[in-house]
Amino acid sequence: MTQQSGLRNAVLVDGVRIPFLRSGSDFKNLMSYDLGQMAIKSLLTRTQIDPGKVDWVMLGSVVSNLSTSNVARDA
């Protein structure tokens, strides 16, 4: 397989998730982007990766908020 000029390899370093909690409990006052932000900060702390070297973030959310259209961007 040949690599075209200008293309770079994707590297998956690690992943994190927010724990499941009973609805209406500890996370009840947080938006989905708040939870995403917590996960991203935890991942950066754990891996000690320079945030300036991150090109893309893939983030998923089971329940969407009507007040935000892109949880990953807002996190």
Render each residue's pLDDT in the chain as its tens digit; 75 residues: 556 677 778 888 888 888 888 888 998 898 888 888 999 999 999 999 999 988 888 888 776 666 776 776 666
CA 33 to chain centre: 9
Determine contact, residues 40/5, Cβ cutoff 8 Å. Answer: no
Determine contact, residues 72/59, Cβ cutoff 8 Å. Answer: yes
Q: Residue 10 half-sphere exposure, CB side, CA atoms within 13 Å? A: 5
Residue 15: partners with Cβ closer than 8 Å, 6 or more residues away: 43
Task: Identify the pLDDT of residue 62.
Answer: 75
Task: Identify the pLDDT of residue 3.
Answer: 60
Task: Identify the pLDDT of residue 4.
Answer: 66
Q: How far apart are CA 15 and CA 17, in angstroms?
A: 7
